[in-house]
Structure 1
Amino acid sequence: MSGPRSIDQVLAEARRRLVRLTPGEAYREFAEGDAVLVDIRPQAHRAGEGEIPGSLIIERNVLEWRFDPASSARLPEATGYGLRVIVICSEGYTSSLAAASLQDLGLNRATDVIGGYRAWRAVGLPTTGAPWPAEPDPTYH
C-alpha cells in the first residue's frame, strides 16, 4: 500500500503476517528451548514492571541489528533465518511491529505475545522484580 497510513493500519498489517502466541504458548516454546524470548521494553518499563527470567533484553532500537544473521552486530543467538524469535513488550503493540520487522529481514518464524508482559504476568508465568499490578502505561490506549 502506498501513501499515508495510520499507526492502526500499520499495526493491523503487521499482525496479519504474524501467528501471535498467547502467554502460555510463548512460555512453552521458550521453556522447551524451541524459541528465544526477547524483551524489547525500555529499562524504565522493566524496572517498573519486572522481568522474565532467562529472556534476552534487547531494546527496540537495536533489535534488527542484533538478530540479522548477516549483521556484524548480531548476537550469538542469531544463528540463522530459521530462528524462532518471540518478541514481548508491555502490552503487545510494539512487539507486533518489531516481530514484523524481523520477518522483513527473513526471520519468518518471528512472532510476538498477545497482551505482552502484562498478560504474561497476569496468568502467573515466571517474573522477577516489581510488585504487581503495575500502573497502566499512559502511552497505550
Structure 2
Amino acid sequence: MGAAAPLNPDRPGVDAVLARSRAGVVRLDPAGTAAALARGALVVDTRTETQRAEQGELPGALVIDRTVLEWRLDPTSGSRIPEATGWDVEVVVVCHEGYSSSLAAASLRAVGLHRATDLTGGFAAWRDAGFPVGTGPADVRR
C-alpha cells in the first residue's frame, strides 16, 4: 500500500464525515435497539444478503438495501414502504459494525426523518450481547 494522501482541509475524509454524522445523535446500544423494536420503531438492516446469510438475521428488522433506503423511508416518496407514515417515525439503522449505519441514519435525518439513529457496534454488538439471532426468512423490502 502506498502512503496516505496529504490532508486537505477542503476534503475532510470519511472519519470526519462519520464524526459529523454522529455529532449530537443518541445512538442506541443493543438493549436500546431491542426496546425501540418493542415500542414499534422501524429497525432497518442494511447488511448485504451475504452478510445476513453468514451472520444471521435480526428478528423483527426490515431489510432495505442501502441503495434505496431514503426512497423507501421518505413518506413523500412514491417508492416508500407502507411503514413510512410520516417524518416522526423512529428509525434505527443496523449494519455489521455500526459505521455505514451512522452515515445512513445521517442521510435519513437530512431527508427529514429527524428521529433516525443507528445501533452502536452494529449487528456484531447485537449478537455479542446475546440478543436473538434468526435464520430467516428476512422481511426484505425492495
Q: TM-score scaled to structure 1, two decimals?
A: 0.87
Which blocks of at least 5 consecutive residues in structure 1 are unaligned?
A: 131-141
2:13 alignment partner in structure 1: 6
Give % identity. Answer: 51
Structure 2, gaps ≥5 residues long: 1-8, 137-142
Q: C-alpha separation between the residues in 2 aligned to 1:75 and 1:32?
A: 19
Conserved? CA contact 2:37–2:60, under 8 Å = no
Would the aligned equivalents of 1:17 and 1:100 in 2 still touch at CA under 8 Å?
no
The one of 38, 47, 60 aligned to 2:53: 47
- Asked if structure 1 preserves the Cα contact closer than 8 Å seen for 2:43 and 2:61, the reply is yes
Matched, 1:105 2:111: yes
1:30 to 31, 37, 44: 37
Shift of 1:19: 1.1
Cα shift readout 1:17-71 (whole Å, capped 9, x = no counterpart): 42101110110110232x1100000111101100011210001111000001111
Does residue 92 in structure 1 map to residue 103 in structure 2? no
Give 1:43's aligned amino acid.
E
**In the alignment, structure 1 residue 129 sits paired with structure 2 residue 122:** no
Structure possessing the higher radius of gyration over alpha carbons: 2
> Runs of 4+ in structure 1 displaced over 4 angstroms?
none
Report the alpha carbon displacement of residue 15 of structure 1 after superposing the two structures with TM.
Answer: 0.5
1:3 shift after superposition = 2.5
Q: One-letter code of the match for 2:104?
A: A
Pairs aligned (count): 128
Query: Given residue 74 of structure 1, which amino acid in structure 2 is its aligned partner?
Result: R
Indicate conservation of the 8 Å contact 1:18/1:100, yes or no: no
TM, length-normalised to structure 2: 0.86
